[in-house]
């Protein structure tokens, strides 16, 4: 069982830590999703491996005709659908086996805050979350890696006790200007004139 003072690691590290191709892919994911370090990526990969392992086990038990396996399959698919990792509809075990690490990273609180336009960058979203500026409903969330259920996604906003809750805060005004500049077409580009046909 072990001494409770010495907790076991909850994730697996790569077997070959110095592979150039894998390291480059990890660096891109860290930069894109605003992760603090590779440990957060490895944790997501370990969670995904757990889902896949469970799916493969259930697939074999379903072929054997176990009734309990059908119930466990429905529970797994229901959980992944509620988290927004699988699409709503009729997901199957094959959908679980086809998931990628990015499917899991897209459900992190910091990434959803960024995609909703509540922060300028994923790294900025992470900082604001840790400092307690964002909430789901009335509950302040300070964990950037929290997997947001799809039902709670619409309830994400600034925490009522945060200065950023004021719509006229200078940071919010600057953020709106950035988002508008990003959405607007580049200056100096004119629509193409229609080509004239003639013989």
Give domain status of residue 129, yes or no: yes
Q: Which helix (H) or strand (E) is 158 found in, with range?
A: strand 156-158
Give domain status of residue 11, yes or no: no
pTM: 0.85
* Res 199: pLDDT: 41
Give domain status of residue 46, yes or no: yes
**HSE toward the beta carbon, residue 175, CA cutoff 13 A:** 19
**69-97 pLDDT tens trace:** 999 999 999 999 999 999 988 899 999 99
Residue 65 shares a structural domain with residue 128: no
**22-64 pLDDT tens trace:** 999 999 999 999 999 999 999 999 999 999 999 999 999 999 9
* Res 150: pLDDT: 95
Residue 145 shares a structural domain with residue 95: no
Domain count, the chain: 2
Residue 88 shares a structural domain with residue 144: no
Residue 84 shares a structural domain with residue 158: no
Instruction: Encode burial over 104-135: b for 16+ CB neighbours within 10 A, e otherwise.
Output: bbbbbbbbbbbeeebbbebbbbbebbeeebbb
């Amino acid at each position: 069982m072990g001494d409770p003072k010495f907790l076991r690691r909850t994730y697996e590290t790569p077997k070959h830590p110095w592979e150039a191709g894998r390291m480059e892919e990890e660096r891109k994911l860290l930069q894109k999703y605003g992760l603090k370090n590779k440990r957060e990526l490895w944790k997501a990969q370990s969670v995904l491996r757990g889902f896949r392992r469970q799916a493969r086990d259930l697939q074999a038990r379903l072929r054997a005709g176990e009734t309990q396996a059908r119930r466990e399959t429905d529970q797994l698919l229901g959980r992944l659908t509620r988290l927004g990792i699988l699409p709503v509809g009729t997901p199957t075990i094959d959908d679980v086996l086809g998931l990628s690490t990015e499917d899991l990273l897209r459900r992190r609180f910091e990434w959803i805050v960024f995609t909703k336009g509540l922060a300028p960058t994923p790294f900025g979203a992470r900082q604001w979350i840790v400092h307690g500026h964002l909430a789901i409903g009335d509950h302040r969330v300070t964990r950037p890696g929290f997997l947001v259920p799809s039902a709670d996604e619409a309830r994400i906003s600034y925490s009522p006790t945060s200065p950023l809750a004021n719509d006229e805060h200078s940071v919010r005004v600057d953020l709106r200007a950035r988002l508008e500049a990003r959405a607007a077409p580049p200056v100096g580009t004119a629509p193409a004139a229609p080509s004239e046909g003639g013989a």
